[in-house]
Amino acid sequence: MDNIKPGDHGSTFGGNPLAGVIGIEALNVVVDENLIENSRKMGKILLKSLQEIAASKDFIKAVRGKGLFCAAEILNDEKIDA
């Protein structure tokens, strides 16, 4: 390690000013456009719809989620072809 001097070696996460500005702006968009609240609202709609589908399908074991991160657990049945 004594052979590497400052400036000889770079890093993907080494303080790129452009990447920093882009990251800050991305966070501003999340806040300014109220994306967290929108995710909560849309997630409720998605979860309710998935639960309605699951109620009519015997191969869906469970549906769960938070925000727009939702999933359906499918029973392991060899007759079902994904």
Write out the chain's pLDDT in tens, 82 residues: 567 677 666 666 666 788 889 999 999 999 999 999 999 999 999 999 999 999 999 889 999 999 999 999 988 877 766 6
- Confidence (pLDDT) at 82: 61
- Confidence (pLDDT) at 59: 87
Q: Which amino acid is at 65?
A: G
Structure tokens belonging to residue 58:
């015997």
Domain residue extents for the chain? 17-74
- Confidence (pLDDT) at 13: 60
| CB neighbours of residue 49 within 10 Å | 12
